[in-house]
Amino acid sequence: MKILLVDPIPAAGAAIAGSLRDAIRHETLHATSSDSALKVLEVQKDSIGIIVKFLDYGPEDGISFIQEVHEFSRIAAIRCPKVVLLTPGDLSASYESRFRSSGAECIVYGYPKQLRATVKRLMFESRCENGKSTIVVDRRGGIPQFYVLGPAT
């Protein structure tokens, strides 16, 4: 699974992409605009699992980007990547709820630990959606019981 970082400032985007790559150990790509991000998505297809976008023009830019990604994924018949929007921190609660209802995570930029934790959580969720096994431990009895759950169970 690859991570696509969308940041209009090439040097900053490349630095954050490198930081994510080192922390998470997954390949990261960088795009400087929404249009170039969709072109990367077209080439990479299902290998892009998460898109991290910096909001540079306000909340409406984030809503339109989420819609573009969903529409492109539907037309191209590919799995829609998860979207993380990095906001300046002054969003109203209505925008944050609109982002979440569109299936995107919304965090304030400037907190690299929160970004890494969010991306790691989304990667885990994506792996579970893709049919990876989950191990459940039941400790209620005297002897722990282990159950392996697959995509069909």
Domains and CATH numbers, the chain: 2-149 (3.40.50.2300)
pLDDT at position 72 is 92
In 1-153, which ranges are continuous DSSP H helix? 10-24, 34-44, 59-76, 93-101, 112-129
Residues 84-127: tens digit of each pLDDT: 988 877 666 667 788 888 888 888 877 788 888 888 888 877 77
pLDDT at position 130 is 60
pLDDT at position 98 is 82
What is the pLDDT confidence band of residue 21, given thresholds at 50, 70 and 90? confident
- Note if the pTM is more than 0.85: no
Say which residues have a Cβ less than 8 Å from residue 36's Cβ, sequence separation at least 6.
6
- State the average pLDDT for the chain: 81
Considering only 8-12, 39-43, 116-120, which range has the smallest mean pLDDT? 8-12
Cβ–Cβ < 8 Å for 147, 138: yes
